[in-house]
Amino acid sequence: MSKVLIVDDSRAIRSILGKILSRNGFEVCQAGNGVEALQALASNASDISLLCADYNMPEMNGIELLQNMRAMPQFASVPVLMITTETHMASMQAAFAAGANEYVMKPFTADMIEDKLRMLGVLAG
């Protein structure tokens, strides 16, 4: 079973995403911010096959998380789905520059998430 790390400061968003991803065969881990996410990555180093991250979070935002994560060789190729309320083109560009592979704006639907997972190649067609 593939393991996903969901990083969002909203417990509700983590729960909703967790249900969508569980239903699609993922084992779900969660973190409330980038600092917690880096700790979770360190303790699950070989297991994480997908990261879903919010853009705006306390302590360490999604951009900083991606920059830190992409600097670690073991996570350089892990697919990242940025899920955020940020709708500005500059925010999207910053996310992609930091290492995001796909970008979804909140509010989202299960179909939107599943489509992005297919695009990332982590969910069968």
Mean pLDDT of 90-119: 97
Share of the chain above pLDDT 70, in %: 100
| Confidence bin at 102 (pLDDT 50/70/90) | very high
Segment holding 79, helix H or strand E? none
Q: In this structure, which topology does domain 3-120 adopt according to CATH?
A: Rossmann fold (3.40.50)
Q: Which residues contact 17 (CB under 8 A, 6 or more apart)?
A: 6, 8, 52, 83, 113
Q: Which residues contact 80 (CB under 8 A, 6 or more apart)?
A: 50, 51, 52, 53, 66, 69, 99, 100, 101, 102
The total of other beta-carbon atoms located within 10 Å of residue 84's CB is 22
Taking the domains of the chain in order of start, what are their residue ranges?
3-120
What is the C-alpha R_g of the chain?
13
What's the mean per-residue pLDDT of the chain? 95
| Confidence bin at 44 (pLDDT 50/70/90) | confident
Mean pLDDT of 38-55: 92
| Confidence bin at 125 (pLDDT 50/70/90) | confident
Share of the chain above pLDDT 90, in %: 93
Structure tokens at 3: 């393991």
In the prediction, which pLDDT does 124 show? 86
The total of other beta-carbon atoms located within 10 Å of residue 48's CB is 22
